Chain A
Amino acid sequence: MRKKLGMIVILLLWIALVGCSASSPSNETKSSQAKPSPSGKAEPASGNAGDMVKIGVVLAETGPASGLGKPEIDAIRLVKKKLEAQGGMIGGKKVEIIMKDYETDDTKAVLAMRKLIADEGVSVVYGATQVSTSIALRDIALKNNVVFLSGAPIGQLGETVFQTGQTSEVLIQQMIDYLKSKNIHTVAWINARDAFGQSGLPIMKKLAEPNGIEIVDAEDFDASATDMTVQLSKIKAKNPGALIVWSRTPGAGVVVKNFKQLGFTIPMLQSQAAANDAFLKQVGADGEGVLVQGSKASVAEQLPDSEYKNRLIQHNQEMMAEYNYPGDIFTTKATDAMNIIFKAIEAGNTTSDQIRDFLENQLHEYQGLSGTFRYTKENHAAVDDNGVSLLPIHNGAWSYSK
């Protein structure tokens, strides 16, 4: 009997362990908000104000979110390599990029960010592959008055927090515009039960009504689930005109498979979190015709001729040469983040306050790879949707239709 009791105790511990590791990437992380260090707040290390500027990067290179984090960190490595090739100097200042992998673990991200600020004295941090992590890092940035460029859409920003990449409002509006252009007025919604998955529906609800779109059903699924037939059967009974999926892989890909098996014929729209190679590989032939909101870099060759097209092609070639895969929504976003920081440094700004001031007042209209940046003092998330498009999957590859 004692043997069995011991086993059950271990079992419970294990379940707790599994539960924690499975849910930590999706927690809203209120609990891991920055607690002030004994001295009130982390004091930046000295010696930063002079001729040295340090940029911190906190991304999920490994762990479940690495399908998104790996391209980001690879793109930044490429930027770093190019920087070092020219002596690591920008506008007479020595620039150092310090990269941290948070292993898809919010707690590790928070620790990494605190270290970057307290030990390295970084002026600016780019980060977080996931929404929940970015929210946690935002709070640390605000407390320490450090500029934070969030790679994930986190809605509420703050005085020193900017967002690279389009807001969910901009992206969902693009989806709605597509539905309207196809004369579709009813839509079903399905999302993963993690921070990113849950961030979309409230925005969709807000935007749907004024645009004359009715949400006939909204379902969700566990981010690690392997079968969504139940949710899709419920959706099928409501007979919507299209389905919007708001989830990252592998969940996003499982929906595609079950969607095909259940014999749906309506259009399926997938979010930017599915716009990567992992998704294409996972869905294979079942993905034919699925629309994914992805970077125009993925279809650079098919774009109409422009200076923008040439820059995307150059980015793709550089990525291909270094990592053997082309650019996507994540590589372009991360590259843009580094480039706007470089622009600020080039103009002689080295401290957090100066960089924030530059982004608000002097960046004006910056044509990045992921879209046009228009930051102002009032809007820290102004990136146009001109860098993204709904890309239909055709023959296992992205295609462009406009």
Chain B
Amino acid sequence: MDDIKLLEAVELYISGQMSPDDRVYFEQLRKTNPEIDQLVVEHTFFLQQMNRFDETKAFKSLLNDTHTHLAETGAIASPTVKGKAKVIQLYNRYKRTAAIAASIAGITALTMSSLIWYMSPGKQQKNELEYLSGQLKDIKDQTIIQKQEINSIKQNIATPVINYTTGGTAFLINAKGLVVTNAHVIKDARNIVVQNNEGKDLKVKVIYNDIARDVAILKIEDTAFKAPTALPYAIKKTEPEVAETVYTLGFPRNDMVYGEGYMAAKTGFNGDTLTCQIAIAANPGNSGGPIFNRNGEVIGILSAKQVSAEGAVFATQSKYIHQAIAALQSDTGYKKVKLPTSSSIKSLDRTQQVKKISEFIYMVKVN
């Protein structure tokens, strides 16, 4: 108890909040007692270290934000910018050329139509033509009426509501809408959707499914999907280290749930080398969720838990995501798929990391 009071006094003294009388007394004490003097020196140094740590951390995060912001607006040349910004750059570059081309096209079109008008048959055929177009108009009217009827019939038949029965978690692995989950999550599925953090269902297509490694890649094919400019996290190629602290985000229930743990072993159940063991709290629905290390890099996909052992959870190592993408690239349609290789949330604290990540984690709904 005495120690606590002493420390409190030291802190008041350092911060200059001590009353003048106490201060005189304390300074006297400091002169006569070398231990207290030592404590003051040491504590001043320590508080300085803590403040500097906080300051540097905040500044690092500010630098990262600035980099992302400048890269997105195109103020600095950074190859991480892709998609939209590039299109705008191209547009700006070729604006003049495009304007010239457009006016040439316009002039040509005008010339051509006037030529056609000039060359076309004379007035004597005009009546016949009008008659024909009149007939066409009748057919057109009829079509409209038929369309309206079909529509009214359509409205009477209610679209069947799909009841999704099972689910899991998935996360985005590139900005173009590829998400990864476990193969067992989508096993025997007739309908699959992913739900984003606004609660909206997005249609997906299965484009890769590897049951042996338990990896499936889906593509979001929904007009409501807003492609991000870049992902904040990276997908690691190398093996995770034992004892690394890790965390996961998933949907064991309707809201996103955070879980924390550590890497327990480099191999999985019964020494399986495809997976690794993690000590973390997980429940049905967590399957397919990403496992992040403290730098905010994905090191695995949460896939199973051992029933007979408490807290033994297994994850597919993230290098198999890279392998899956490599396999996918040999398929013609997805040659240019690239996975994010650098994490922009490295220096942020956990809460900030989770905030930035959460919009890229989806709930998978299957029936």
A and B, one complex? no
